[in-house]
Amino acid sequence: MLESTPAPVSSKSTHATIPPGHATGIAPGPVMPEPSGTTSASGRPNGTEPPPLSPDLAVSDVTAPERPDRADGHLNEVLVVGRVTAAPSERELPSGDRLVTWRICVARPEVPGRKRARADSMTLVSFDPHLCARVEGWRVGDVVRVTGELRRRTWRGWNGIHSVLEVEADTASRVREAGR
């Protein structure tokens, strides 16, 4: 069941889109439905596709348009759709900032001959109070769609330096509730 409120639209600039399976090594898969009346992060109405790229276009030929907030074409954007495996939990940091953390599992495409399906598990975080309120009611098993950026967090603990790679969420929406 889709949420009745549309997913927020990212304020980030657009970038070149590579069709599924083209120069990425990722096999095409089913496209998750989006709430009607929303737009994609690229600003196009959902359901509309960008013009196809030339088949001889290599990944190195794809560059992001110049952006005043990015250094020479660097781009850090993540889109994941997966199943919640750890419900969102909020905590207050020593700085006074509030942080919500949750985990999702994203199934990898099936590989012929492999006995078990594989999945990637990742931690997602948000400092945005509006987004924190939005994900508060999510339960384990819900299927969600999240956009954001990869962030490496490093800290010194009692047994040495620790580091973790997380997705800092910009937008989030529930695609389907658990058990449906």
CATH code, 102: 2.40.50.140
| CB neighbour list of residue 71: distance below 8 Å, 6 or more residues apart | none
Residues of the chain with pLDDT under 50: 1-44, 46, 50-64
**Looking at residue 58, what is its pLDDT?**
45
In a domain, 124, yes or no: yes
In a domain, 151, yes or no: yes
Q: Give the pLDDT confidence score for residue 68 in this predicted structure.
A: 53
> Quick check: is 137 in a domain?
yes
Entry pTM: 0.58
Under 8 Å between Cβ of 83 and 143: yes
In a domain, 3, yes or no: no
Domain assignment present for 164: yes
Report CA 28 to chain centroid distance, whole Å. 17
Number of domains in the chain: 1
Enclosing domain of residue 168: 68-176
Q: Would you state the pLDDT for residue 114?
A: 85
Q: Specify the pLDDT at position 14.
A: 38
User: So what's the pLDDT on residue 172?
Assistant: 96
